[in-house]
Amino acid sequence: MKVSVWTGLSVWLLIMLSWFVIADIAAVHPTVKNNTLSVNIGMIYEEDNKIEKMVLNCIKLALSDFYNSNGHYKTRIVLKTRVYSKNNTLNAAAAALYLLKHYEVKAILMGPTSSIDAAFIINLGEKARVPIISYSATNPLLSSIQGSYYIRATPDVLPQAKAIAALVQAFRWREIVPLYVDNDYGAGFISYLADSLAEVYARIPYHGPIPVFATDDQIRHQLNKLKNTSTTVFMVHMTSDLASRLFLIVKDLQMLEEGYVWIATSGATDELGLLDHSVIESMQGVISLQTYVTQTENQKKFDNRIDPGFRDLKLSITGLWAYDAACALARAVEAVGGSNFGFRKEKLSGNFTDLDTLGISYMGPKLLKTLLNTSFIGLAGKFSVLNRQLDSSTYKIINVIGSGSRDIGFWTPNKGITKTLNSSNSVLKAIIWPGDTTITPKGWAILPASGNQLKVGIPVKAFYEELLKVTVDKSTGSLNIKASGFCIDVFEAVMEKLQYLGPYNYFPYPDYVVPTDSYDNLIYQVFLQKFDIVVGDITITANRSLYVDFTLPYTESGVTMVVPARNERRNAWVFLMPLKTDLWVASLCAFIFIAFSIWVLEHRINDEFRGPPLHQAGTSLFYSFSMLVFAQNVQDLIHKGVYVGYQEGSFVKELLKQKGFQETKLVPYITAETLDELLAKGSANGGISAVFDEIPYMKLFLAKYSSKYVMVQPLYKAEGFGFAFPKGSPLASDVSRELLNVIEGDDMTRMEKKWGMPSSNSSYEGNKVSASSLNLSSFGGLFLIVGVVSGLSLLIFTATFLYEYRQIWLYSDASIWRKAKDLTDVFLQRDMEFHTFRRNIMQQSTRNVRSDNKSSGCECEGINTDSGSSPRPSNFTDDRVSTQPPNSLQTA
């Protein structure tokens, strides 16, 4: 029988169409073979990516191993793969859509994708109720996407921020500059890192975002900008391929020399064994975090079974995560069992897209729930999903050396940094830093305002040459500046210990003339970056600290008053004139009562009222005496409108104006001789009645004129002298630390003796004066006011104290004697919640930073963490502080 050509062709097309329909049905719907049910599972991966191909090999081996070990299982996963190109956005999403539409896969395994692709795929899984399982994504922002069907079979990257902050704290760095890929993966981590650093009092001064598809020129430009900053601690958070290019340029720019610090997150080094030798060479001295995986025999055996085409690649952590994810999925599919494996299709009409034609998986909800509850020991360790991500946050700390790396410690959320995983020793193993050195980098470098040398500003003055003397010689044609004095000796003693700071030059301010300018303007020159440091008799004040950072003070603090001895007795010392017996007795009782009131109110919150009983009694009586006499002296000067003196250019002028003195009544002085003349003349004769100045100045003045004048104890608080640095300068903390060593050592005593700095207050001396006798009635009103105010203060304090510790005397079952004893014990202790003690503890922590490694983190074993040696500060002790509550409080 003859058949036409067209008829034959039609039959052939019909047969082919039928074959495609049957094949498509077979691909979509589960088939039963050898009493097992086939279930389609999809995988998308990047083309021409050797690591991804190795991961595919790991997944196939995982399924093979799983079903060989569980031959009785009734289900079998059929892996459907789809490759995509990373050159175009949404290619990965298109691959996932293809798998859902053409194969109705019940879950999708995916590797690294762009944030846009990942978000789209997660939404696809949500719409089709198909679990999306990532074996490589560590982007913290992906978890925030509202996708209940998205699971990360990888650990969260955010704990690494805490680990990096712990390293920063351990090595006492104060700043770190992050270089990160400029996408959600990088930005999401950096915001969390900033919070973690703030908890250890460190900060991010600059940011170094690197575009995802950055050219080498773009990377070089960003690194050059950061190279010209003072911070030398850098953190790298990006993918391995981008990090590899970055480190090659880092080495080329000589930013891997001695003094630099480079810390990398696991994303840059988890695949360290897969990097080229040239990249490893450019990472020498880098310390990095790596996801910790327990080494087992199963891993070694599995490594030997990798396809021969991938033998040149060391098995990566990503391959282990993918292996475990495939095994978890196979377990879950088997557990779901005989569920409906089909898709429910929606009825559509009119125009619709491929997304509209997606069905909804019947088994999706059960499969998701089973996956979330799956737990087993895999190749990468324990597989357990918590909050839709792998429950693992243990990191290994490595040091890149030679052709690989060596382990130097671990970090866990509970223990922090430890030498070994099962120990509590926080000392890391020895580290080889960039530049092949074992000395821990200080973390910053000085960028001098004048080029290669530090520019140190000093005030030109002629007040007290014992503190500072500046000599400027112009005779040689070039400026020859010499500085001497107590302040200069202290500064140079500190700089000698900090030898790594390099050379420095002194620059007087104003320009080589006797100053008429204030010290505030000198401080402002640091803010304007004209000086790197300002040294001299510079007082630390709150207003000045808005523009600069000060070191800790190295002199006594406080503003005091000096008056002529004769004038002092004619005014404030009137009560020492011959008094009648009743007034002497009343005065003595008033002093004692006020002293007791002051002690009750102050001894729990003020160190000056603590110590041996005799010391406490003496201090209280003196303050009682000061309150009745010295303070009224000051008020008497304001009331009478007399002239008082202050040092030219000092902040004391503004202080006196705040206290009520008229500016027209304030007289500046420049030299000690001028001050002596002004005080000798007196206010009525063109001089002054008193002078207000800081304790160091007045000590030097009284050393020359002690027989003529007396000094009142500090009337106003001040912080003392300090050195000024630019805001945010890490040099301030280093200098403060060495300054404490100088103060506590023999050097300070030697310098004080050299420059004649008095170590004790001058005595109150003068001639006797006569006056008529006074009786009690002359001061009856004064004693009444003093008694009422002091008594009311005691009453308020007692009521507040009893209310605060009411659990001791009101709710306790102890005896009355025990309650009284416990209240007394609490009353005699310091109130450690008071702000003064909190501030002292913070200052003391700086003082003990070298002598107590555990207080600040860890140091490296066998490593010199300082460029020089210095005496250790003494430990802070408090013999009256109890860390345990009284017995009655414990039993209440």
- Mean pLDDT over 51-76 rounds to 91
State pLDDT tens for residues 302-335: 877 776 666 555 667 888 899 999 999 999 999 9
pLDDT at 695: 87
With CA atoms as reference, report the closest residue to 391 among 154, 721, 92. 154
Mean pLDDT lowest among 419-428, 475-484, 735-744? 475-484
pLDDT at 639: 85
Q: Work out the pLDDT band at 592, boundaries 50, 70, 90.
A: confident
Burial class for 530, CB neighbours closer than 10 Å (0-12, 13-18, 19+): middle
- Mean pLDDT over 198-212 rounds to 91
Q: Work out the pLDDT band at 154, boundaries 50, 70, 90.
A: confident
Q: Which positions ≥6 away from 347 have C-beta within 8 Å? A: none
Q: Are strands 343-344 and 360-361 parallel, antiparallel or unpaired?
A: antiparallel
More reliable by pLDDT, 87 or 868: 87
More reliable by pLDDT, 879 or 137: 137
pLDDT at 869: 36
Q: What is the DSSP string of 707-733?
A: TTEEEEEEEE----B--EEETT-THHH
Q: Work out the pLDDT band at 866, boundaries 50, 70, 90.
A: very low
Count other C-beta atoms under 10 Å from residue 299's C-beta. Answer: 16
State pLDDT tens for residues 850-861: 444 444 444 455
With CA atoms as reference, report the closest residue to 700 among 759, 652, 783, 635. 759
With CA atoms as reference, report the closest residue to 700 among 734, 667, 722, 672. 672
- Mean pLDDT over 197-219 rounds to 92
Most confident among 136-140, 474-478, 696-700 (mean pLDDT): 696-700
Q: Please give the sequence-ordered ranges of beta strands (E in DSSP) within 769-865, or none if there are none.
A: none
* Alpha carbon distance 264, 234 (integer Å): 8
- Mean pLDDT over 219-241 rounds to 92
pLDDT at 516 over 50: no
pLDDT at 889: 35
pLDDT at 27: 46
Mean per-residue pLDDT of the chain: 78
Backbone angles phi, psi at 108, to 5 degrees: -130, 130
pLDDT at 788 over 80: no
- Mean pLDDT over 40-66 rounds to 89
Percent of the chain at pLDDT above 70? 73
Angle between helices 581-602 and 780-804 (to 10 degrees): 20
pLDDT at 564 over 80: yes
pLDDT at 601: 67
Most confident among 264-268, 281-285, 306-310, 729-733 (mean pLDDT): 281-285
Q: Work out the pLDDT band at 77, boundaries 50, 70, 90.
A: very high
pLDDT at 223: 95
Identity at 194, one-letter amino acid code: A
pLDDT at 291 over 90: no
pLDDT at 167: 96
Mean pLDDT lowest among 358-372, 423-437, 753-767? 753-767
State pLDDT tens for residues 635-684: 788 888 999 999 988 889 998 998 889 999 999 998 889 999 999 999 98
List of long-range contacts for 356-363, beta carbons under 8 Å, 24+ apart: 357/101, 358/97, 358/100, 358/101, 358/124, 358/127, 358/128, 359/104, 359/128, 360/127, 360/128, 360/129, 361/104, 361/106, 361/128, 361/129, 361/130, 363/106, 363/336, 363/339
pLDDT at 839 over 70: no
State pLDDT tens for residues 246-256: 999 999 999 99
**DSSP letter assigned to residue 860:** B
State pLDDT tens for residues 703-718: 888 888 888 765 777 8
State pLDDT tens for residues 446-463: 766 655 678 899 988 757
Q: Work out the pLDDT band at 727, boundaries 50, 70, 90.
A: confident
Task: Please state whether the peptide bond connecting residue 515 to the residue before it is cis, i.e. omega within 30 degrees of 0.
Answer: no
pLDDT at 498: 79
pLDDT at 36: 84
Percent of the chain at pLDDT above 90? 31
Q: Which two tokens mark 831?
A: 């109130």
* Alpha carbon distance 634, 645 (integer Å): 13
The helix/strand/coil state of 214 is coil
Q: Work out the pLDDT band at 885, boundaries 50, 70, 90.
A: very low
With CA atoms as reference, report the closest residue to 731 among 508, 550, 599. 550
pLDDT at 581 over 70: no
Q: Work out the pLDDT band at 178, boundaries 50, 70, 90.
A: very high
Q: Which two tokens mark 32?
A: 């039963």
